[in-house]
A = this chain, B = another copy of it.
């Protein structure tokens, strides 16, 4: 055992060093070179469709063994259409401007000293994720374009698919004159190895875990480097006393039902008591018709006894399912307090025609994304025009909300003088 741990530790460090060396070369890579590699990757994905599908079949054949749910199997499964979508995703990243080298600000002092803040890559990103194979391609493309080396640690359920995708991407990266270790894949499925990688803060600059809350908490606990993440997306929609109730109903239904299993779906709806009588009966009818299970406060239950009584724990639960918590509040302030207490800092929306209520909500709710008269489902890198996203952050430092290329960079101060001293 002691030997295994020592071997794992040195294996992890060797992987991390390889990526670290690649990162030094990527720091100076030109935009054209990176874009050429990405274009070649897109073409290669299309050309190798059969090989990718064959590997995917091998993963699908093991799905029962790993006990995947039908939803998980569906996320794992590739098709010609899904491979085409991956290739287009890479081309969309090619089309984005290179963030590296951007002069964020510049200041020239009276004595001629030039001070610039220049955008530079972070270095090495450790990306830990589950199931969907397209995430492998997105992560490599985003990291390469932003000049970072990436260490990929995907789930065992997609091991064959990820292996093929990784190999063909690395070949194209090398062919473009960039280091093969720009994308290092962790090919041993061992949780201890992840633990060891998370100790390598000398070589790895950032860890990004994407998956269930358990995975993310484990990563945060073990990591010595910074972690970009959200634990959960417990998103709220607040229907104000001055809401357009038709709009409110459309937004609530969309936020809960359009895709209930994702982090930006609504989990709790708060309704101002002044509109509860007019709003709730119709809303509840529609939600029940759509198969939503509802847990509500006593006031909510008075409108429909199919509403189950909500407990404290229900208001802290990210359902990720056709389930919804509901509460009638006496004021905008009570809604803001409820969100401060139970929210996860991800995305919250207010529906109102009162501009003052909207401003108060947008200012006082301390979440990564706050919305007025729009569905929480719209909080997404693609919808926000970032291109693909590497994740969504509920942290306050560095990056908040959907994270794209810019969030995979840092800056340095570059100072040019002509003998300036102090």
Contact = CB atoms under 8 A, between A and B. Distances in A.
Interface of A: 24, 27-28, 107, 109, 113, 115, 120, 122-123, 205-206, 226, 228, 244, 247, 250-251, 254-255, 258, 340, 358, 362-364, 366-375, 377-379, 383-385, 395-398, 400-402, 410-422
A418 B378 CA distance: 13
Contacts of A255: 421
A244 B420 CA distance: 13
Contacts of A396: 122-123, 205-206, 226, 410
Given A123-B366, A370-B412, A398-B397, A421 B375 contact: yes
Contact of A419 (B340, B362, B373, B398): B373
A211 to B, nearest CB: 21
21 contacts: A109-B385, A113-B378, A226-B396, A228-B397, A250-B419, A254-B421, A254-B422, A368-B412, A368-B413, A370-B413, A370-B415, A371-B415, A371-B416, A373-B416, A373-B419, A373-B420, A374-B421, A378-B420, A396-B410, A397-B410, A400-B413
Given A370-B415, A397-B398, 12 more contacts: A24-B364, A24-B366, A107-B384, A123-B396, A205-B397, A226-B396, A255-B421, A370-B412, A370-B414, A371-B415, A374-B416, A375-B420
A415 B27 contact: no
Contact of A226 (B370, B397, B400): B397
B413 A384 contact: yes
A370 B118 CA distance: 11
A373 B418 contact: yes
What 4 A-B pairs have minimum CB-CB distances, sorted nearest first? A374-B417, A254-B421, A397-B398, A377-B422
Nearest to A246: B419
Most buried by B among A244, A363, A377, A385: A363
B400 A369 contact: no
Contact of A244 (B123, B251, B369, B419): B419
B410 A401 contact: no
Given A378-B113, A421-B254, A400 B384 contact: no
B369 A413 contact: yes
Contacts of A367: 412
A115 B347 CA distance: 13
B27 A385 contact: no
